[in-house]
Structure 1
Amino acid sequence: MPRPTGWQKHLQHALAIVRRRVPPGLRLALGIVLIGLGFLGFLPILGFWLIPLGVAVAALDITPLYRRLRGKPPRPKPPGR
């Protein structure tokens, strides 16, 4: 896996803080709010950068989405199912 660049380090650090300090149910709600604010990106201070940040925060609670963002392969299905 390649080493993260500057903005990727900042994103990983922000996600680590959110994972430690925000309860699991609230992370999904926070991610949805950030995505909603991202659609107001034409306003000052708010920006379109909030959309990917909201997706990353919401993905912390949704395991399949989190695995896809991390680049891990999906879990194989057990045989016979």
Structure 2
Amino acid sequence: MEPPRVQLLTESNGYWPVLRELALEGKIQGSIMHDARIAALCRQHGIQELWTAGIFRCLGCVYRHSLKDFFAPAKKGRG
């Protein structure tokens, strides 16, 4: 069994077009732009699920609220 790893996600080639697309699609402005930046990093690096302890409006990225959804019983039709 390998120990857990941490990988720093950086803004590499192709990041700005991804962020621009997300911002235009979602009509993003103001403080939610930070969420769009994180979503763009996730999309660029192939991350499909983000666990967070807060509300995260992650544009096109599946997220799971680590304290609410993780411990809640599964609902019908949710998959």
- Give the TM-score, by structure 1 length: 0.31
More helix by share: 1
More strand by share: 2
